[in-house]
Amino acid sequence: MLKTTSKTGKNAFSLRFDDLDQNCLSELSSNEASEIIGGFTVNNDSGSTKSFYTFGQFVQPKRQVLQPEQSGNYNGEYILYSSSRTTFEPTLSDKLAPTDIVSFRLEGDTVDLLQK
């Protein structure tokens, strides 16, 4: 059984395992882990710096920047980006799951967001 102890007046907290109960411990699912390490993965294969916004139902919009050949993990469900290299053409991604991997790719003057 997992027991906790704390001391009044101190910022201390300790745990100890008396009896190891296998039902108390479990591996995180990919959805649970994504809340800790970030959500979906974005790769920048466009050859130039790419800025975009990530957001979701419970995630406020946040501006992100990826340098060429970089990748990052982000929380949220959507990506808002410009799909043109020369003009501003706002484009919204499909809804993304925490385990999705997407890549920015450049085709002529068009920037595509491809899901792997």
CB distance 32 to 52 below 8 Å: no
**Radius of gyration of the chain from its Cα atoms, rounded to whole angstroms:** 21
3-class DSSP string for 54-113? EECCCCCCEEEEECCCCEEEECCCEEEEECECCCCCEEECCCCCCCCEEEEEEECCEEEE
CB distance 45 to 67 below 8 Å: no
Q: What is the pTM of this model?
A: 0.67
Closest CA to 106 of 84, 78, 88: 84
Q: pLDDT tens across 52-73, in order?
A: 999 998 899 999 999 999 999 9
Percent of the chain clearing pLDDT 70 (strictly above)? 67
What's the CATH code, domain 2-115? 2.60.40
* Separation of first and last alpha carbons in the chain: 43
Q: pLDDT tens across 1-55, in order?
A: 444 444 455 555 555 555 555 666 666 665 555 455 458 999 999 999 999 999 9
